[in-house]
Structure 1
Amino acid sequence: MLVFVFICFVTSSLVVGALWGVSGKLPEKVEGFIVAVAGGALIISLVLELIEPASSEASLFWILALILIGAGVFTAIDYLIKQRMKSKGGFGLLAAVTLDGIPENLALGVALIGGGPAQIAALAGSIFLSNLPEAAGSAMEMQKDNYSKKHTMVIWTGTAILLSSSAVAGYLFLQDVDDFYLALIKAFAAGAVAASLSTEVFPQAFKKDSLWTGLAIALGISIAYGLHKLGV
């Protein structure tokens, strides 16, 4: 039961963020600060909850290779969306959240296999915080493109269901998979998350709140590391 509570908590951030986007918004500096905190938390989570556990099940070569492949796949898809499809509005952000979210939530599902509550909370919390402003920003752009509030909420609720399904699939269907392959999945997801931090999360945070971005990232790192140590 705890597993599904964590999954619902993480993906509910997309619906909450969309509600935030269609009903109003926080000051840009506050939004940028939250994004930066989330990014800092994700740095710790991808290293300690994904890469480090994976390194005990696969060789350094495979871990490094899958990190690079994960980052490369995300970067290629991000390029296609932004440069080739010229999608930079609400649906561009929606696509970015979805492409980023599928490996993130799959990794969350894998992390739930044998993970401790505090360790899982660190990853779940950082994903939750990073999803909020991205969903809100996309919903705001959809409003500018004359999508109704109802239509926008239906789209984001569907996205939340899709990403919940990927987390549930990771947990249910990868239980009996060899630890070596789970390690590769974690490393791939870590690479994808790392790429999303550099191209989506930190640039957005710096644009909205450049003065306090570094402090906010350090705060996010401290929170995530503290949660991790509590779970050790």
Structure 2
Amino acid sequence: MLPAVVMVVVSAALIVGAAWGVFGRLSDRTEGVVVALAGGALMVSAVLELIEPATRQTSVWVGCAAVLVGAVVFTVADHLVKQRWGRDSGGGLLAAITLDGVPENLALGVALIGTGPLGAAALSGSILLSNLPEAAGGARDMVEDGRSRRAVMGLWTATAVLLALAALAGNLLLAGVPDDVLAVVRCFAAGAVVGSLATEVFPKSYREGGYRTGLAVAVGVVVAVLLSSVS
């Protein structure tokens, strides 16, 4: 029950972030710094909560291969969504937003198998922290592009519900698989997270936060290590 609550709360952060972007004020510089902090924390969490435990259940070579495959799959899918569908249409926009959130939610879903919320504290905290500014910035851009506030909030709410359901479904469906198979899935999810950080998170944070990004990423790394140490 508690893992399900964690996944729902983390996904609900998208709705809170969207409301922040639609009805509140968030400077580009602040958004860039927060995104960088969350990205640094998420990078470390992917290693400590997903890859490192997985290598104890499968060979290092298999785990590393799964990480690379996950990164390739996400990068190719992200490229196809942007180049062929675009982000202007409602369907293309929803697909792009959902794709960006899939690696994180898959990672959270598999990380919570066989452990409690505290066992994945660093990962869940990092994803929650990254969802807030991502949704805020995206929602603000949609409003500035002429979409109504109601439509923007509806889109982000639908995305949050879809990602929460996907994470819950993955958590339930993968709960009974052998440990070595689950280890490969964990590494695949971690690779997809790394791919999303490299192509989406860090470029955006540097454009908006400038050289503060370096310090913010380091702070995120420290936060993730501290959260992991108390689990």
Calculate the TM-score normalised by the size of structure 2.
0.93
Cα pair distance change 1:90/1:224, threshold 3 Å: farther
**Structure 1 stretch displaced more, 201-210 or 74-83:** 74-83
The alignment's C-alpha RMSD in Å is 1.9
2: CA distance, partners of 1:94 / 1:151: 12
Q: Identical aligned pairs, as a percentage?
A: 54
Q: Give secondary structure in 1 for the equivalent of 2:188.
A: helix
- The superposition leaves residues 66-112 of structure 1 with CA deviations (integer Å, 9 ceiling, x where unpaired) of 11111111111111122333437987665343113223212211111
Q: Give secondary structure in 2 for the equivalent of 1:16.
A: helix
Alignment match, 1:170: 170
**Structure 1 stretch displaced more, 153-162 or 78-87:** 78-87
1: CA distance, partners of 2:28 / 2:5: 31
Any gaps of 5 or more consecutive residues in structure 2? none
2: CA distance, partners of 1:61 / 1:181: 14
Cα pair distance change 1:28/1:104, threshold 3 Å: same
Alignment match, 2:85: 85
Alignment match, 2:124: 124
Any gaps of 5 or more consecutive residues in structure 1? none
Cα pair distance change 1:95/1:133, threshold 3 Å: farther
Instruction: Report the Cα offset of residue 138 of structure 1.
Output: 1.9
Alignment match, 2:67: 67
Contact 2:71 2:191 (8 Å CA) reproduced: yes
Q: Give secondary structure in 1 for the equivalent of 2:230.
A: helix
Moved over 4 A (4+): 88-94
Instruction: Report the Cα offset of residue 210 of structure 1.
Output: 1.2
Cα pair distance change 1:91/1:29, threshold 3 Å: farther
Instruction: Report the Cα offset of residue 220 of structure 1.
Output: 0.4
Calculate the TM-score normalised by the size of structure 1.
0.92
Amino acid at match of 2:72: G
- The superposition leaves residues 125-144 of structure 1 with CA deviations (integer Å, 9 ceiling, x where unpaired) of 11111112221222122213
Matched, 1:26 2:26: yes
Cα pair distance change 1:88/1:200, threshold 3 Å: farther
